[in-house]
């Protein structure tokens, strides 16, 4: 049972990572990060069946942080869009050196 | 310093500290107050000087005289020092007199040491803040406070119009404080405190008119040259500690004879002490600072550079008489350096035109005599000459001060910028300043060694003792002492010449100051001539306290008419007895005849007659010479004259072979070692960091994808590394 859950979690995480690396749309990249987070959440829940309630508590923490992060991240993306009229990450690379 | 003042104040209220019980009924009277009074004077005057500081410093920089706004409106910062400065000196002198009177009443065998507090205690090494009262320190205290008081009074008149008046008295009081610490301290360490302190005050007072670059430089020169000698003093103290584990006078001299006679250690100690003395007392080769020190106010030259500080070296040797007696090599060096300096400086003085320069070289020369005295074991004679020299040389300097004062005013009144110190601009001043003229003649006759003035007895004593020491059975270098004796006699004749030349050029002949200026020349005010008169009396009669027995009983001593035969000799006996004992055991009895025959009286008569003849001849020859004022003087000096006028080019030689190489080496250290090597290393470290930083910053592309890629790769690498 746990094996299947962990395999699913791994598949989701890899999809998330791959998407994060190859896509250029900021929103999509953001969603990929969410996918990674939730893949990890799935592992936590799966492990909690074996080692107790701690994993589920962690999931709540992760969800809370993810929600806060989504709020801030989406706000930033919106303000970037207002400025550049695009959300393609290749278009903004001023923050360097 | 502050805690020290408080501690001594507390000790004073308890009746002058705890006197050592063994001091044969000699009860010291407030010895701490003698030292403390000048210090309080310094603090009071110093506060006034600071209050007055800004205005005075501005006036000094402007090079003008401070506008007091009429004689009645002197600010309190000028009135108070007039009373505080000489006042504390008078107090110190009176207390010294009381102590002197008490000491006269008892026969004091061992020094009385008054302990106040422990200055430092480190393991095996302890130094107490303690004052030592004995016959030698008492004589020195009398000279310092007595002559010092007179010079303070003189300064009131001399410095009246100077903007730095309170500052001047602050420094002068501080100097007296340190000088008293020097002679009253009960250990070499405490003596060193005074030694350095007087050096500091000397520096401050030479550069008193600091706005003048030349004068400020003269102060620095004095300070730096003295440092060379001070190193010797320090090394000697370290060696002394190594040998005796203490630097207090009493235990050191008690154990001194455990050192081998003529041994390497005692020779090293005494030679290093002598190096210190050479610096402080301006002997060859470190004498060069003293003539330049004449840049200071003239009363300073009288007090510091004639009467007291420069004699500290003689005091040091006399105080360490036991150690010097143990080392014939060191003693011969002391006498040799003294004799050479006496002759060398006297020859330079022959050709100087600046009145103070003549006196400066004369001081160097006379200090040489003192060293000859203490070098041939005649410690009492050396101290005797120190004392009479303090009288007549202080008088000569103060007299020259009165002359310069008058000349300065004369030129000031007509706004002419002539040299007020050059004797070629003087001449005929006798008519304008009769008191100064008369008193300075007394001093001149005294220094020339004319009977019965003070200098005759003291200088002749030294010359005679040199001959007697060289003729002793076991004298280490008899020929050498004969040479010293001849040099001393020759230098005495030169002294008679250059001093008379100075007097004739200054006071006799026709006046060369200028017609308008001559009307302004005037006698010094009472505050200035009264000290001159007192010093003249001392220069005339001061020598009678120590008339050698042979002379006492001859016609020179009025067949025993002088009341105080060999008084100083007997007075210092308890301190010099040990040294004389060492000398007698190792060298045998002193000779009773000079190298070429003749006794003490014969040579005394010969030398005074010869000096008298030189004085008379000089009056005639110099009086006949045509001297023209500086502005008209166009004579080119040649040959020996030029050599002497230019002081044997010693300053130039030092500059070429010592000063310039040091400057070059310093420049090398600055331009190459500091700017290239050290700065280069630091800059290179900075540049490398900057380069590395620049290289690494290339990874920061600003592209989110790059970061994401690197992050992922990094995680994979760490995972892989932790798995395998």
Phi-psi region of B643 (alpha: psi -120 to 50; beta: other; left: phi over 0): alpha
* Alpha carbon of A20: minimum distance to chain B alpha carbons (Å): 7
What share of chain B has pLDDT > 70, as a percent? Answer: 92
Q: Which of B115, B171, B123, B117 is nearest to B3 (CA)?
A: B117
pLDDT for B266-276, tens place per residue?
A: 999 999 999 99
A contacts of B700 (beta carbons < 8 Å): 96-97
For B372-387, what is the mean pLDDT? 91
Check CB contact under 8 Å for B702 and A20: no
* ipTM reported for the complex surpasses 0.90: no
Of B700, B703, B708, the CB nearest to A90: B703
- Domain architecture of chain A: domains with CATH: 2-89 (1.10.287.3510)
From residue B33, alpha-carbon distances to B19, B181, B604 in Å are 14, 12, 43
* Six token digits for residue B157: 């008149």
pLDDT band at B386 (very low <50, low <70, confident <90, very high): very high
User: Which one of B698, B703, B711, B713 makes the best mutation probe of the A interface by having the most chain A beta carbons within 10 Å?
Assistant: B703
Over the stretch B532-573, which tens digit does the pLDDT of each residue have? Answer: 999 999 998 888 888 887 777 777 666 666 666 788 888 888
Model confidence over B32-61: pLDDT tens digits?
899 999 999 999 998 888 887 776 666 666
**Cβ–Cβ under 8 Å, residues B322 and B253:** yes
pLDDT of residue B7: 47
Q: Which residue of chain A has the CA closest to B704?
A: A89
Exposed, middle or buried: residue B696 (CB in 10 Å: 0-12, 13-18, 19+)? exposed
Q: In a 10 Å sphere around its CB, with 0-12 CB exposed, 13-18 middle and 19+ buried, how is residue B660 labelled?
A: exposed
The nearest alpha carbon in chain A to B708 belongs to A21
| Percent of chain B as helix, strand, coil, to the nearest 5 | 75, 5, 20
Identify the three-state secondary structure at position B138. helix
Cis ω on the peptide bond leading into residue B285 (within 30° of 0)?
yes
CA trace torsion A81, A86, A91, A92 (10° rounding): 0
Q: How confident is the model at residue B12 (pLDDT cuts 50, 70, 90)?
A: very low
Pick from B697, B704, B712: CB nearest A17 = B712
Please compute Rg for chain A using Cα positions.
16
CA distances to B147, B191, B463 from B459, rounded to whole Å, are: 20, 27, 6
Write the CB contacts of B350 (distance below 8 Å, at least 6 apart in sequence): B494, B497, B498, B501, B644
> How far from the centroid of its chain's Cα atoms is residue B86's Cα?
20
φ and ψ of B131, to 5 deg: -105, 140
Task: Find, among B640, B388, B385, B570, the residue nearest to B488 by Cα.
Answer: B385
DSSP, residue by residue, A6-25: HHHHHHHHHHHHHHHHH--B
Question: Locate tokens 């004068």: which residue?
Answer: B215
Angle at alpha carbon of residue B527, lines to B524 and B532, rounded to 5°: 70
* C-beta separation of B492 from B577 below 8 A: no
- Cβ-defined contact of A21 to B708 (cutoff 8 Å): yes
Mean pLDDT of B169-196: 93
Percentage of the residues of chain B whose pLDDT score is greater than 90: 41
Per-residue model confidence as pLDDT tens digits over B459-509 = 888 988 888 888 777 777 888 888 999 999 999 999 999 999 999 988 888
Cβ distance B708 to A97 less than 8 Å, yes or no, reads: no
pLDDT interval class at B627 (50, 70, 90): confident
Contact state of B705 with A94 under an 8 Å Cβ cutoff: no
pLDDT at B443 over 90: yes
Model confidence at B15, pLDDT cuts 50, 70, 90, reads very low
Confidence tier at B624 by pLDDT (50, 70, 90): confident
Query: What pLDDT is recorded for position B16?
Result: 41
Residues of B in contact with A21 (CB under 8 A): 705, 708-709, 712
Name the phi and psi angles at B74, rounded to 5.
-70, 125
**B12-26, B533-547, B682-696 — which is least confidently predicted?**
B12-26
Long-range contacts of A64-67 (CB under 8 A, 24+ apart): A66/A34, A66/A37
Which of B697, B698, B701 is closest, CB to CB, to A93? B701
Q: pLDDT for B198-211, tens place per residue?
A: 999 999 999 888 88
Asked if residue A34 has pLDDT above 90, the reply is: yes
Residue B696's closest chain A neighbor by CA? A97
Facing A21 at nearest CB: one of B700, B703, B712: B712
Q: Is the pLDDT of residue B376 over 60?
A: yes
Residue bearing the bigger pLDDT, B64 or B360: B360
- Tokens found for residue B246: 């203490």
Per-residue pLDDT band for B318 (boundaries 50, 70, 90) equals: very high
Predicted confidence (pLDDT) at residue A59 exceeds the cutoff of 50:
yes
For residue B702, give the nearest of A21, A29, A93 by CB distance: A93
pLDDT surpasses 60 at B4 = no
Q: How near does any CA of chain A get to the CA of B692, in Å?
A: 13
Nearest to residue B105, comparing CAs of B21, B44, B28?
Answer: B28
Is the separation of the CB atoms in B229 and B283 below 8 Å? Answer: no
Q: Quote the distance between the C-alpha of residue B31 and its chain's center.
A: 23
pLDDT at B241 over 60: yes
Over residues B330-354, mean pLDDT: 91
Residues from chain A contacting residue B701 (CB–CB below 8 Å) = 93, 96
Give percent of chain A with pLDDT exceeding 90: 72
Q: Do B705 and A97 touch (CB under 8 A)?
A: no
**Distance, in angstroms, between A86 CA and closest chain B CA?**
15
Contact B704 A94 (CB under 8 A): no
- Which residues of chain A lie closer than 8 angstroms to B709, CB-CB? 21
Q: Which residues of B touch A96 (CB under 8 A)?
A: 700-703
Checking if the pLDDT of B412 tops 50, the result is yes
Which of A21, A92, A94 has the most B C-beta neighbours within 10 Å, making it the best mutation to test the interface with B? A21
B629 or B685: which carries more pLDDT confidence?
B685
- CB within 8 Å: A97 and B703: no
User: Does residue B452 have a cis peptide bond before it, meaning omega lies within 30 degrees of 0?
Assistant: yes
Q: B703–A24: do the CB atoms touch at under 8 Å?
A: no
d(CA B39, CA B91): 12
Q: Does the pLDDT at position B24 exceed 80? A: no
At B69, is the pLDDT very low, low, confident or very high (cuts 50, 70, 90)? very low
pTM of the model: 0.80
User: How many CA within 13 A on the CB side of residue A62?
Assistant: 19
pLDDT of residue B104: 86
Q: Which residue has the higher pLDDT, B655 or B514?
A: B655
Contact across the interface for A90 and B702, Cβ inside 8 Å: no
Residue burial B524-540, b: 16+ Cβ < 10 Å; e: rest? beebbbbbbbbbbebbb
Do B338 and B283 contact (CB within 8 A), yes or no? yes
Q: Write out residues 19-78 of B within 8 Å (CB-CB) of A.
A: none
- The string of DSSP codes covering B691-720 is HHHHHHHTT--S-HHHHHHHHHHHHHHHHH
Q: Which two tokens stand for residue B237?
A: 């103290």
Element at B129 (helix H, strand E): strand B125-133
d(CA B519, CA B514): 9
Residue B567: partners with Cβ closer than 8 Å, 6 or more residues away: B545, B546
Q: Is residue B11 within 8 Å of B28, Cβ to Cβ?
A: no
Asked if the Cβ–Cβ distance from A93 to B712 is below 8 Å, we say no
CA distance A82 to B110: 103
State yes or no: pLDDT of B67 exceeds 70.
Answer: no
Average pLDDT, chain B: 86
Strand order in the sheet with B112-122: B18-19, B112-122, B125-133
């Amino acid at each position: 049972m746990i094996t299947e859950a962990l395999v699913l979690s791994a598949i989701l995480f890899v999809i998330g990572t791959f998407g994060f690396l190859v896509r250029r749309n900021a929103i999509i990249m953001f969603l990929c990060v969410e996918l990674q987070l939730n893949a990890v959440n799935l592992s936590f829940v799966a492990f909690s069946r074996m080692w107790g309630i701690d994993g589920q508590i962690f999931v709540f923490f992760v969800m809370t942080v993810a929600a806060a992060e989504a709020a801030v991240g989406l706000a930033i993306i919106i303000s970037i869009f207002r400025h550049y009229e695009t959300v393609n990450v290749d278009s903004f690379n001023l923050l360097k050196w | 310093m502050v805690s020290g003042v408080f501690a001594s104040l507390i000790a004073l209220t308890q009746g002058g500290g705890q006197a050592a019980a063994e001091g044969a009924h000699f009860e010291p009277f407030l010895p701490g107050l003698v030292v403390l009074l000048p210090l309080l004077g310094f603090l009071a005057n110093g506060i006034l000087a600071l209050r007055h500081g800004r205005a005075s410093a501005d006036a000094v920089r402007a090079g003008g005289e401070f506008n007091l706004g009429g004689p009645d409106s002197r600010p309190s910062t000028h009135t108070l020092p007039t009373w505080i400065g000489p006042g504390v000196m008078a107090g110190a002198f009176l207390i010294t007199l009381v102590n002197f009177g008490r000491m006269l009443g008892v026969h004091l065998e061992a020094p009385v040491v008054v302990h106040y507090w422990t200055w430092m205690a480190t393991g095996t090494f302890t130094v107490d803040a303690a004052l030592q009262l004995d016959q030698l320190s008492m004589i020195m205290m009398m000279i310092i406070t007595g002559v010092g008081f007179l010079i303070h009074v003189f300064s009131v008149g001399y410095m009246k119009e100077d903007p730095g008046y309170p500052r001047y008295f602050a420094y002068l009081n501080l100097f007296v404080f340190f000088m008293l610490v020097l002679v009253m301290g009960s250990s070499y360490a405490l003596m060193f405190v005074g030694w350095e302190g007087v050096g500091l005050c000397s520096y401050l007072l030479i550069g008193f008119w600091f706005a003048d670059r030349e004068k400020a430089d003269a102060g620095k020169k004095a300070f730096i040259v003295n440092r060379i000698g001070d190193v010797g003093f320090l090394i000697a103290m370290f060696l002394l500690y190594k040998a005796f584990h203490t630097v207090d006078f009493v235990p050191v001299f008690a154990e001194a004879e455990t050192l081998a006679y003529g041994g390497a250690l005692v020779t090293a100690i005494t030679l290093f002490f002598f190096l210190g003395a050479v610096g402080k007392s301006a002997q060859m080769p470190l004498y060069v600072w003293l003539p330049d020190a004449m840049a200071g106010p003239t009363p300073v030259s009288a007090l510091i550079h004639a009467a007291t500080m420069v004699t500290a070296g003689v005091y040091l040797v006399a105080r360490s008489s036991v150690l010097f007696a143990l080392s014939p090599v060191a003693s011969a060096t002391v006498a040799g350096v003294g004799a050479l300096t006496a002759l060398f400086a006297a020859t330079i003085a022959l050709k100087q035109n600046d009145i103070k320069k003549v006196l400066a070289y004369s001081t160097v020369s006379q200090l040489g005599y003192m060293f000859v005295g203490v070098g041939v074991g005649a410690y009492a004679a050396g101290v005797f000459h120190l004392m009479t020299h303090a009288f007549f040389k202080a008088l000569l300097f103060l007299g020259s001060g009165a002359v310069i004062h008058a000349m300065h005013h004369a030129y000031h009144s007509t706004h002419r910028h002539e040299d007020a110190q050059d004797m070629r601009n003087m001449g005929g001043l006798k008519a304008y300043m009769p008191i100064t003229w008369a008193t300075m003649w007394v001093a001149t006759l005294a220094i020339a060694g004319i009977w019965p003035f003070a200098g005759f007895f003291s200088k002749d004593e030294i010359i005679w003792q040199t001959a007697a020491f060289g003729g002793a059975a076991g004298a280490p270098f008899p020929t050498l002492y004969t040479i010293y004796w001849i040099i001393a006699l020759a230098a005495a004749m030169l002294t008679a010449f250059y001093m008379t030349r100075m007097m004739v050029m200054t006071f006799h002949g026709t006046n060369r100051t200028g017609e308008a200026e001559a009307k302004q020349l005037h006698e010094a005010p009472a505050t200035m001539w009264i000290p001159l008169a007192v010093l003249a009396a001392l220069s005339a009669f001061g020598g009678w306290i120590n008339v050698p027995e042979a002379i006492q009983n001859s016609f020179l001593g009025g067949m025993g008419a002088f009341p105080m035969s060999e008084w100083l000799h007997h007075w210092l006996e308890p301190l010099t007895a040990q040294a004389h004992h060492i000398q007698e055991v190792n060298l045998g009895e002193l000779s009773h005849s000079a190298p070429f025959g003749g006794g003490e009286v014969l040579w005394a008569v010969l030398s005074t007659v010869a000096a008298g003849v030189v004085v008379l001849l000089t009056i005639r020859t110099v009086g006949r010479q045509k001297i023209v004022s500086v502005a008209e003087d166009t004579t080119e000096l040649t040959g020996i004259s030029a050599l002497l006028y230019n002081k044997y080019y010693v300053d130039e030689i030092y500059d070429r072979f010592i000063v310039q190489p040091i400057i070059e080496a310093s420049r090398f250290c600055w331009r190459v070692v500091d700017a290239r090597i050290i700065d280069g290393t630091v800059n290179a470290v900075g540049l490398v960091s900057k380069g590395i930083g620049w290289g690494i910053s290339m990874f920061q592309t600003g592209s989110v994808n790059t970061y994401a890629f690197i992050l992922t790769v990094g995680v994979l690498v760490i995972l892989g590394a932790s798995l395998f």
